Structure 1
Amino acid sequence: MSQPLVVGTLVGNPRPGSRTLIAAQALGEAVRHALAAQGRDVSPHGPLVDAATLAPEVFAPGSTAVREALESLAAVDVLVVASPTYKATYTGLLKAILDQSPANWLRGKTAVPLLVAAADKHALAVELHLKPLLAELGASTPGRGLFLNEALLDDRPALTDALAARLSEAGWFTEPVGALR
């Protein structure tokens, strides 16, 4: 019998407990539901890395915290990568963490990119910046990147449902995903 699929989350907001973290957790739940709806066995929990907790360690000589966090995420099948939009792209903290990952770190994994912003004018940033970064790390990103206007975060009970609808609209997990075990 095969192991259940594991969905992990990496949040690139430099503020601990951010609204981006809330959105990323809701998206992770929506991904688990989408995979379960395909009849997949999905673990109810997966690793969560909040970059804000790693910020003091990112450039600290000899620190192993970032490497250990990346290793915990290396075991997932699907990785949600979320960031607030800073200067029309993902955060420098997220990039600094991902720069410490090994070559092809995400090979054989599906990554779901999510950018959160205050204005819809940043909606293309996920396609132009975050999705190509994940592809460079070896990830498969078969659907469109997801954008969330932060105004939608005010209705937290409906957030998972809204993100599930966006997953479907963007072409994520609408058919069985062959790359997943």
Structure 2
Amino acid sequence: MRTTVVAGNPKPGSRTLDAATRLAVALTGEQPDHLIDVIGLGPGLLGWGDAQVRAAVDTVSGSDLVVFASPTFKATYTGILKLFLDQFATGDGLRDVTAVPLMLGAGPAHALAPELLLKPVLVELGATCPAAGLYLIDSTYTTDTRILDHVERWAPTIRSSLRSEAS
């Protein structure tokens, strides 16, 4: 199984990247095969044809499991993540990818954001999102049990999705 983490935070090496990596490890028991810190793709995201962006898109579309993560920005996911997602073809750009939407925020006000805002765009791009999106409080995700609780509840469903897409 090929696992990738995509973090759409404007700050490189962010808590968003850390939280997404923790979630991927909790789901699979292993470090992800690839980490894509979208901000590192730079101005190539503003158009089409950039080789580094194309390689990142190919990595994601060739993965079995992808955790897509963003901080909550103006009540939704970041523009940097949107620029990256715009690089995928509508309908089948994420075909055969099982995706897990993850968002972080300062408080519970936007707890439904991963489910209502990020998950639909992943599905529009062809991903399978068999589990509820996860929202974490950015100041407590390293000390609370939300990641483990989510994995306990949803890992069997995610694993079942991975098996069915492999056949």
**Which range, TM-score by smaller chain?**
0.7 to 0.9
Residue by residue over 1:126-155, the C-alpha shift from the partner in whole angstroms, topping out at 9 and shown as x without a partner, is 111000010001111111111101121453
The residue number in structure 2 matching 1:39 is none
TM-aligned CA deviation for residue 62 of structure 1: 5.0
- In 2, the alpha carbon distance for the partners of 1:142 and 1:153 equals 22
Does structure 1 conserve the Cα–Cα contact (< 8 Å) formed by 2:24 and 2:32? no
Instruction: Give the partner amino acid of 2:164.
Output: A
Instruction: Give the partner amino acid of 1:165.
Output: D
**2:115 corresponds to 1:127:** yes
Does structure 1 conserve the Cα–Cα contact (< 8 Å) formed by 2:20 and 2:67? yes
Residues 62/166 of structure 1: CA separation in 2 closer, same or farther (3 Å cut): closer
- In 1, the alpha carbon distance for the partners of 2:50 and 2:3 equals 26
SS of structure 1 residue aligned to 2:46: coil
Q: How many aligned positions are there? A: 163
Does structure 1 conserve the Cα–Cα contact (< 8 Å) formed by 2:21 and 2:31? no
TM-aligned CA deviation for residue 55 of structure 1: 2.7
**Correspondences of 1:157-168 after superposition (within 5 Å):** 162-168=146-152
Larger Rg: 1
SS of structure 1 residue aligned to 2:12: coil
Residues 82/45 of structure 1: CA separation in 2 closer, same or farther (3 Å cut): closer
Unmatched tracts of structure 2, length 5 or more: none
The residue number in structure 2 matching 1:96 is 83
TM-aligned CA deviation for residue 162 of structure 1: 4.1
Provide the alpha-carbon RMSD of the alignment. 2.0
The residue number in structure 1 matching 2:63 is 76
The residue number in structure 2 matching 1:37 is none
